[in-house]
Chain A
Amino acid sequence: MSADQRHEAVGGPRSIPEAAPAGRFRAFLARSGLLLALIILFVVLAAVAPNFLSARNLLNVLRQVSFVGIIACGMTMALIGAEVDLSVGSVVALTCCLLGVLNQKLGWPLGLAIAAVLVESTLMGVFAGWIRVKWDIPGLIVTIALMLSLRGLAYVVTNAFPIPITNDSFAFLGSGDVLGVPFPAILFLLTMALFGFISTRTVYGRSVYAVGGNAEATRLSGIPINRVRILLFATTGLLAAVAGILLTSRLSSANAGVAVGWEFDVISAVIIGGTSLFGGEGSMFGTLLGVLFIGLLGNGMVMLGVNPYYQQVARGVIILLAVLLSALQRPKTTA
């Protein structure tokens, strides 16, 4: 049949060159738009919030965003690969609690306990990814299940009681500074740089973009798409554990109730940073801006004494605006 409809779909030769530079320009605009918004936000806050500009406050913001920021690196990869991991908040909590139990209740040395929770969380990610690819179940569903179960486990292992961890060298991880810069912030920026490199320069990073852009074409190109997908979940698991360790250190206690809703903070930052929820497009730099934007906004609102409920409303509106903006910039789909 369809020779006729084929011709319909294609038409004659058309002038190609226009679309792409425009796309690039648009991408630049989208990115610099966020940069611009970040600068405006910064200037406004500097003008209206009294102590906003103090080094102490700014470094504090940096410390605060680094927990979510570290996870956002893995989540950016996941979203580029057209996957999503909703379990990261619960992974943080379980990491935190296991660390407390292993170290304080079972007397494991801290180093060993840390290694153990890193491995455990990574394996949990591998498990989620394996279910995802083996039975072709959406990662969203798999990780929702994981989100519930792991949060529950966190309460189970601690009996819902906080476990204090007092150890000065451990406290350094979350609260220490190197040359005046918070250690978590340094770790965040290093993670960012590492994943910037992985996403743009390595075979794996390229495979992630390809899988997210068109999984079938990628499979037909002889790329092991299932391995790529499992690695995405292993990465979010590992990074959530890193954030969990830092958080435990910062709080000097293991508590099953921490990091509730972090998955949404992380995903919001990534999406504000311009990464597509549908996969194939996004960048670490965008995520960096997104993380900073959300951090500064939150901090600013606190400094200005905005009612916390309104803060939530504001955050929702910002996310909607960011997504609307990128939708408006997307090229119109043609048949």
Chain B
Amino acid sequence: MDTVPILEAHQVRKRYPGVQALDGVDFRLEAGEVRALIGKNGAGKSTFVKILSGATHPDSGTLTVQGRPTVIHSPAEAFASGIATVYQEMSLVMGLSVAENILLGRWPRSRRLGMPTIDTRRTVAEAREALDLMGVSLNPREQVRRLSVPQRQMVEIAKAISFKPKVLILDEPTSSLPAHEVDALLALVRRLAESGVAVIYVSHRLQELPRVADSLTVFRDGRQVGTIPMPEATPERIVQMMIGSEWKRSSSTTRSATGAVRLSVKDAVRKRFIRGVSFDLHEGEVLGIAGLLGSGRTELLRAIFGLDRLDAGSIVVNGRTVRRPTPIRMKSLGVGMTPEDRKGEGIVASLSVAKNLTLTSLDRISNARVISRRAERDLAGGMVKALSIRTPSTAVQARALSGGNQQKLVIGKWLNSQVQVLLMDEPTRGIDIEAKNQVYGLVRELAARGISIIFVSSEIEEVLEVSDRILVFNRGRIAADLPIGQATLENVLAISMVSEEQAAV
């Protein structure tokens, strides 16, 4: 094909502090083509998507849309130049109707009583047009609040389509969808492609890709490392392209923990997220959990810690079944959790370093409910030293610390409460390399002291780095339970990306 491509990127570069997110990306997309986009965490694909959708700007390089050099400054300009993006995070306004959401901010106007008003009839009509094009039967007047998650996803896509885009970008569109809804979505993408829309389909669910994509582009380390036609894209080849050859585990801890069982999860079920999960966590063991977005890893930790209810199954701590787990109950049993959202759920930014470090152990530093300042100072000061938290003093507000040091506060407060089991959800998210390495070292050190740790991360390398054993999650199930000696980046990546149905074949 020697036509003008609908979208072309040339030598696009983007640097964030501390990381070259995009290092000269070339990319070419034809009309009516569905291109799968794939790459490990941090490979640069989401930065690339953000540049195309106007959410961020490249440092250098050129974009050409329909043969015209284009500079995209904002999401509005992206829409105007024919690029519409559907993000996995929902951006709908719950209180508005389907139609009002689809045409958000672009409602057809009319005048009534001399005042500008929204022309509801035309809004509904135009929204219905987009929905019909998708072959989706949804009432445009329905409030979005009342829709199911998959239906909301459809509204998101209808919203994108209503811009009549030339290029539609779908970012992990199936991560929140149940299996049967996935089929409908894939069919929709094919229909759109047949009508001439070019689609960039970001997904790691390998079994979906042959059914929807024509070809596949792999990103690695901020570069586009290759584009192959879909029939040639075997899971082995994809994984090999994603990984390259350079990565090697640096540490060589291959202990298999055989200590007492500290925590057992038995047949845990939570509708839509966890579909029958059982495992044991031993004393002094680091149990890594790898899995894609939506595989149920965060939901599992939340359920263990009592933040979400399980629909079925049980949680056993030190041999005792915990009937209704709550954070208070789990803390009293020696279980702590460092949440994924450090700022929103981990630290109290307005409180001092010392107060954050003692928040879980107020009983330890108080007598008859009166806090001993000295005990507080000693406990906090000791932890600042033990974790080498970089802070001018323990009286400083937690908000003043860097991300890595804030993470240490969250870990430190649980150590102060003398936990035996620590659930860590993405503990290195958003912190710099040096701090990451300190966290890995800390995790190993705690394990050596007998603390049992569940380490959840979307970066498989670090799961391999710190764990004694790895559970690979796939669509709410444990797809593999690997001692560290048998786990490699290749097989963990492959298992997490390929559905269990396919893996069983």
Residues in chain A within 8 A of chain B (CB atoms): 1-14, 16-21, 23-24, 201-204, 206-207, 209-210, 212-214, 216-224, 280-281
Could you pull out 10 A-B pairs where Cβ atoms are within 8 angstroms? A1-B88, A1-B202, A3-B46, A5-B47, A9-B430, A16-B390, A23-B397, A219-B327, A222-B330, A222-B417
Stretch at the interface among B68-76, B181-189, B346-354, B478-486: B346-354
Chain B residues with CB under 8 A of A1: 41, 45-46, 88, 171-172, 202, 293
Contact between B350 and A20, CB atoms less than 8 A apart: no
Which chain B residue has the least Cβ–Cβ distance from A24? Answer: B395
* Bound-state Cα–Cα, A221 to B397, Å: 18
Which chain A residue has the least Cβ–Cβ distance from B392? Answer: A17
Query: Which residue of the partner chain, among B351, B366, B390, B399, contacts A203 with CB atoms under 8 Å?
Result: B366
Contact between B400 and A222, CB atoms less than 8 A apart: no
* Bound-state Cα–Cα, A223 to B360, Å: 7
Contact between A213 and B349, CB atoms less than 8 A apart: yes
Which chain B residue has the least Cβ–Cβ distance from A1? Answer: B46
Contact between B293 and A217, CB atoms less than 8 A apart: no
Which chain B residue has the least Cβ–Cβ distance from A17? Answer: B392
Contact between B431 and A10, CB atoms less than 8 A apart: yes
Contact A222/B331 with A20-B397, A204-B369 known, Cβ cut-off 8 Å: yes
Of residues 28 through 50 on chain B, the ones whose CB sits less than 8 Å from some CB of chain A are: 41-47, 50
Contact A2/B46 with A8-B16, A10-B402, A11-B17 known, Cβ cut-off 8 Å: yes
Query: Which residue of the partner chain, among A18, A24, A220, contacts B345 with CB atoms under 8 Å?
Result: A220
Closest 10 CB pairs of A and B: A222-B331, A3-B42, A20-B396, A11-B17, A280-B350, A213-B350, A19-B400, A6-B430, A4-B47, A213-B348
Contact between A220 and B339, CB atoms less than 8 A apart: yes
Does B487 make an interface contact (CB < 8 A)?
Answer: no
* Bound-state Cα–Cα, A17 to B305, Å: 34
Query: Which residue of the partner chain, among A5, A8, A21, A210, contacts B355 with CB atoms under 8 Å?
Result: A210
Chain A residues with CB under 8 A of B450: none
Chain A residues with CB under 8 A of B400: 16, 18-20, 23
Does B459 make an interface contact (CB < 8 A)?
Answer: yes
Contact between A4 and B17, CB atoms less than 8 A apart: no
* Bound-state Cα–Cα, A9 to B397, Å: 19
Contact A201/B351 with A3-B41, A5-B50, A12-B432 known, Cβ cut-off 8 Å: no
Does B240 make an interface contact (CB < 8 A)?
Answer: no
Does B114 make an interface contact (CB < 8 A)?
Answer: no
Chain A residues with CB under 8 A of B231: none
CB B331 to nearest CB in A, in angstroms, measures 3
Chain B residues with CB under 8 A of A220: 305, 307, 327, 337, 339, 345-346
Supplied contacts A2-B41, A9-B430, A214-B345, 6 more A-B pairs, CB within 8 Å = A4-B42, A7-B18, A12-B17, A23-B396, A212-B350, A214-B350
Chain A residues with CB under 8 A of B432: 10-13
* Bound-state Cα–Cα, A23 to B353, Å: 14
Which chain A residue has the least Cβ–Cβ distance from B410? Answer: A217
Contact between B359 and A221, CB atoms less than 8 A apart: yes
* Bound-state Cα–Cα, A220 to B396, Å: 22
Chain A residues with CB under 8 A of B348: 209-210, 213-214, 217-218, 280
Contact A221/B430 with A4-B44, A4-B46, A20-B392 known, Cβ cut-off 8 Å: no
Contact between B16 and A4, CB atoms less than 8 A apart: yes
Of residues 390 through 414 on chain B, the ones whose CB sits less than 8 Å from some CB of chain A are: 390-393, 395-397, 399-405, 413
Residues in chain B within 8 A of chain A (CB atoms): 16-19, 21, 41-47, 50, 56, 88, 171-172, 202, 293, 305, 307, 327-328, 330-332, 337, 339, 344-351, 355, 359-360, 362-363, 366, 369-371, 373, 390-393, 395-397, 399-405, 413, 417, 429-432, 434-435, 458-459
* Bound-state Cα–Cα, A203 to B351, Å: 14
Contact between B17 and A221, CB atoms less than 8 A apart: no
Contact between A203 and B430, CB atoms less than 8 A apart: no
Contact between B16 and A3, CB atoms less than 8 A apart: no
Chain B residues with CB under 8 A of A12: 17-18, 432
* Bound-state Cα–Cα, A223 to B332, Å: 11
Chain B residues with CB under 8 A of A10: 17, 402-403, 430-432
* Bound-state Cα–Cα, A18 to B399, Å: 12
* Bound-state Cα–Cα, A214 to B351, Å: 9
* Bound-state Cα–Cα, A8 to B41, Å: 14
Chain B residues with CB under 8 A of A6: 429-430
CB B333 to nearest CB in A, in angstroms, measures 10
Chain A residues with CB under 8 A of B359: 206, 210, 217-218, 221, 223
Chain B residues with CB under 8 A of A11: 16-18, 432
Contact between B21 and A13, CB atoms less than 8 A apart: no
Q: Which of B18, B373, B435 has the most CB of A within 10 A?
A: B18
Chain B residues with CB under 8 A of A214: 344-345, 347-350
Chain A residues with CB under 8 A of B19: 4, 7
Contact between A202 and B16, CB atoms less than 8 A apart: no
Chain A residues with CB under 8 A of B413: 221
Query: Which residue of the partner chain, among B172, B345, B430, B458, contacts A217 with CB atoms under 8 Å?
Result: B345
Q: Which of A21, A214, A216 has the most CB of B within 10 A?
A: A214
Query: Which residue of the partner chain, among B46, B344, B360, contacts A222 with CB atoms under 8 Å?
Result: B360
CB B75 to nearest CB in A, in angstroms, measures 15
Contact between B362 and A7, CB atoms less than 8 A apart: no
Chain A residues with CB under 8 A of B459: 3
* Bound-state Cα–Cα, A5 to B404, Å: 16
Chain A residues with CB under 8 A of B45: 1
* Bound-state Cα–Cα, A11 to B430, Å: 8
Chain B residues with CB under 8 A of A18: 400
CB A43 to nearest CB in B, in angstroms, measures 34
* Bound-state Cα–Cα, A242 to B43, Å: 64
CB B444 to nearest CB in A, in angstroms, measures 22
* Bound-state Cα–Cα, A3 to B426, Å: 11
* Bound-state Cα–Cα, A261 to B328, Å: 39
* Bound-state Cα–Cα, A21 to B349, Å: 15
Query: Which residue of the partner chain, among B44, B50, B350, contacts A281 with CB atoms under 8 Å?
Result: B350
Chain B residues with CB under 8 A of A21: 392, 396
Contact between A217 and B347, CB atoms less than 8 A apart: yes
Contact A280/B351 with A7-B21, A11-B18, A220-B345 known, Cβ cut-off 8 Å: yes
Chain A residues with CB under 8 A of B16: 4, 7-8, 11
Chain A residues with CB under 8 A of B344: 214, 216-217
Q: Which of B16, B21, B44, B348 has the most CB of A within 10 A?
A: B348
* Bound-state Cα–Cα, A18 to B397, Å: 11
* Bound-state Cα–Cα, A202 to B370, Å: 4
* Bound-state Cα–Cα, A219 to B360, Å: 10
CB B223 to nearest CB in A, in angstroms, measures 13
Chain A residues with CB under 8 A of B44: 4
Query: Which residue of the partner chain, among A2, A13, A207, A213, contacts B362 with CB atoms under 8 Å?
Result: A207
CB B303 to nearest CB in A, in angstroms, measures 14
Chain A residues with CB under 8 A of B396: 16-17, 19-21, 23
* Bound-state Cα–Cα, A209 to B355, Å: 10
* Bound-state Cα–Cα, A201 to B392, Å: 23
Chain B residues with CB under 8 A of A5: 46-47, 50
CB B325 to nearest CB in A, in angstroms, measures 11
CB A70 to nearest CB in B, in angstroms, measures 23
Contact between B345 and A216, CB atoms less than 8 A apart: yes
Chain B residues with CB under 8 A of A221: 327, 331, 359-360, 413
Contact A206/B331 with A16-B401, A222-B360 known, Cβ cut-off 8 Å: no
